Amino acid sequence: MKNNWIKKVTAAATAVVCLTGIAQATPITGNIGFSGAVQLNSSAVNTATEATAWFNTVAASPVGTFVGLVNNGDAVSMTGATPWFFNSGALANFWSVDGFTFSLTSSHIYSQVGGFLNVLLVGSVSGNGFDTTTFNGTFQVADPASGGPQTFTERLSFNSVPDGGTTVMLLGGALMGLALLKRKLLA
């Protein structure tokens, strides 16, 4: 009887270990910024509703997963962001750089006052063999000192979002299993 129970516990423990191996992911971590210039559909950011063109956009200050794969000054493609309405829904391939791609889920204007625009972005980054990871970002631009494209510097930035508790849930399940095993062995 006791031998049969040990076989069942061993089988259950093996299943948990196998499922944990499947559940473990390699998310993209850290953050990345961009700099360059953008043309808006208005000469003042207080009335702008969209970005109509991007100029000389490059990567800046990669941290975490991006280090060693993306370098300061690497060209960034903004093809999915042209045109980009600041209050928008999904846009695939919003930006891409060195094998990483950000797909926008949604964006909305957070503040737009005093010659300064701040837009919040939500989406996911994928690429280079990493799991698709939820990222939040901001786009910030101020009125230029003179006419022409509005310039932003290190103001388009993206940060990874924590996994939402999956890791803690798996750890809790494993600890409960050990507690039950201890209880059964002492009984």
Query: pLDDT tens digits, residue range 26-49?
Result: 899 998 999 888 888 888 889 999
**Which percentage of the chain shows pLDDT scores above 90?**
47
Which candidate, 38, 47, 27, 37, places its Cα nearest to that of 127? Answer: 27
Neighbours of 184 (CB within 10 A): 12
What pLDDT does residue 155 have? Answer: 59
**Can the peptide bond before residue 62 be classed as cis, meaning omega within 30 degrees of 0?**
no
What tokens were used for 126?
């994928």
Q: Is the pLDDT of residue 154 over 50?
A: no
**Which percentage of the chain shows pLDDT scores above 70?**
66
Query: pLDDT tens digits, residue range 59-113?
Result: 999 999 999 999 999 999 998 899 999 999 999 999 999 999 999 999 999 999 9
What pLDDT does residue 106 have? Answer: 96
Map residue 164 onto helix, strand or coil.
coil
- d(C-alpha 71, C-alpha 59), whole Å: 7
What pLDDT does residue 1 have? Answer: 53
Beta strands across the sheet bearing 50-60? 84-85, 50-60, 31-40, 150-160, 130-142, 116-127, 100-113, 91-97
Residue 55's contacts (CB-CB under 8 Å, 6 or more residues apart) are: 36, 37, 38, 39, 149
CA 182 centroid distance within chain = 41
Say which residue, 12 or 113, is predicted with more confidence: 113
- d(C-alpha 143, C-alpha 46), whole Å: 8
Which residue is it, tokens 């786009």? 139
Of 2-16, 18-32, 100-114, 149-163, highest mean pLDDT: 100-114
What does pTM read for this prediction? Answer: 0.72
- d(C-alpha 87, C-alpha 120), whole Å: 9
What pLDDT does residue 12 have? Answer: 54
- Work out the average pLDDT over 145-171: 60
